[in-house]
Chain A
């Protein structure tokens, strides 16, 4: 009889433990299945001017793809670091940043860059968020790191933070591309 009681107690404790673990999960965080998958190529108009930006043009380089919008409050918080990072990597020939301004208007984006500073790299303009949906984006800012062979190596949901490049990106870059 006591072994039965122990078993039931164990089951109940197990359920409580699972429940407690479930409470730690953030229901807004959607894990991406895109890691280690080939990046979805795009060829889209640039935010500034009529040029088209094509992802495959940058094979052989690491690409940080940063999704943002002038409507996004966290992007304001992230922006100073992007300006700093753009300056920091401007001499590297193996790494570049591309922005994706999505669900936005050109006027809004220009005003944002004017007010908060222009990091200088190029941006796609994706008003209907077709590219964003194609990349499984559901909020902003979201960033992807794509390796020189065109494989997505990591995703960062939320603002990039000072030191992110050294802490997260560099070890991957120095470790080389997935074969």
Chain B
């Protein structure tokens, strides 16, 4: 007799399986709208994309994008529309041309220069150490600092 509540429970759970849910198709244009809006920066919140922002202006800009996509404009044309009006600011990623190339290439140039500098420096240290270690060995016994260190060590009883 106690089986019935269980049966009921499992039937109810079975009915609500997510696989049985009706699929809600997204507007086919929406993927393109999303892609464009994610690449453009919200003009009143600085670090959010138009797509993420809840500001009125950003949402109205997304609806401008949506209209332009529906008109059949290309992503490049829509990006350019906003770039022409808001300038460099509008792209989440700075454009890879002109003075902005410094932003894109600078870190790698810096890394290369630093690496080369480090390489040269290490080579120089290595060369210096070769001669220094021989010299260090030769007067290892009698040097004043070594003697004082040994004296200090002798004081410590383990």
Interface pair B84/A33, CB less than 8 Å apart: yes
Within the complex, the shortest CB–CB distance from A171 to chain B, in Å, comes to 25
- For chain B, the count of residues having a C-beta within 8 Å of the partner chain is 15
Interface residues of A in 36-79 (CB under 8 A from B): 37
Q: CB of B57 within 8 A of chain A?
A: yes
A135 vs B64: C-alpha distance in the bound complex, in angstroms? Answer: 13
Closest Cβ neighbor of B43 among chain A residues: A138
Interface residues of B in 81-125 (CB under 8 A from A): 83-87, 89
Interface pair A133/B61, CB less than 8 Å apart: yes
Q: CB of B56 within 8 A of chain A?
A: yes
Within the complex, the shortest CB–CB distance from A23 to chain B, in Å, comes to 15
Within the complex, the shortest CB–CB distance from A151 to chain B, in Å, comes to 15
B-side interface residues toward A, CB under 8 Å? 43-44, 46, 56-57, 60-61, 63-64, 83-87, 89
Interface pair A27/B46, CB less than 8 Å apart: yes
Which chain B positions have C-beta within 8 A of A32?
Answer: 85-87
Which chain A positions have C-beta within 8 A of B89?
Answer: 30-31
Q: A103-B56, A138-B57 are in contact. Are A30 and B86 (CB under 8 A)?
A: yes
Q: Besides A33-B84, A129-B57, 5 other CB < 8 A contacts?
A: A103-B56, A129-B60, A133-B64, A134-B85, A138-B86
Within the complex, the shortest CB–CB distance from A114 to chain B, in Å, comes to 24
A-side interface residues toward B, CB under 8 Å? 27-28, 30-34, 37, 103, 128-130, 133-136, 138-139
Interface pair B63/A135, CB less than 8 Å apart: no
Highest count of chain B CB atoms <10 Å: which of A33, A129, A138: A138
Q: A103-B56, A138-B57 are in contact. Are A133 and B44 (CB under 8 A)?
A: no
Q: Pick the residue among B43, B44, B60, B85 that contacts A33 (CB under 8 A).
A: B85
Interface pair B87/A103, CB less than 8 Å apart: no
Q: A30-B89, A138-B43 are in contact. Are A133 and B84 (CB under 8 A)?
A: no
A33 vs B83: C-alpha distance in the bound complex, in angstroms? Answer: 8
Within the complex, the shortest CB–CB distance from B24 to chain A, in Å, comes to 26
A-B pairs with beta carbons under 8 Å apart, 10 shown:
A28-B46, A31-B87, A33-B86, A34-B85, A103-B57, A129-B56, A130-B64, A133-B64, A133-B85, A136-B85
A129 vs B43: C-alpha distance in the bound complex, in angstroms? Answer: 14
A33 vs B84: C-alpha distance in the bound complex, in angstroms? Answer: 7
Within the complex, the shortest CB–CB distance from A98 to chain B, in Å, comes to 19
Q: A30-B43, A138-B44, A139-B44 are in contact. Are A133 and B60 (CB under 8 A)?
A: yes
A128 vs B60: C-alpha distance in the bound complex, in angstroms? Answer: 7
Interface pair A103/B84, CB less than 8 Å apart: no
A133 vs B55: C-alpha distance in the bound complex, in angstroms? Answer: 14
Within the complex, the shortest CB–CB distance from B65 to chain A, in Å, comes to 10
A28 vs B89: C-alpha distance in the bound complex, in angstroms? Answer: 10
Within the complex, the shortest CB–CB distance from A57 to chain B, in Å, comes to 23
A139 vs B44: C-alpha distance in the bound complex, in angstroms? Answer: 8
Within the complex, the shortest CB–CB distance from B56 to chain A, in Å, comes to 6
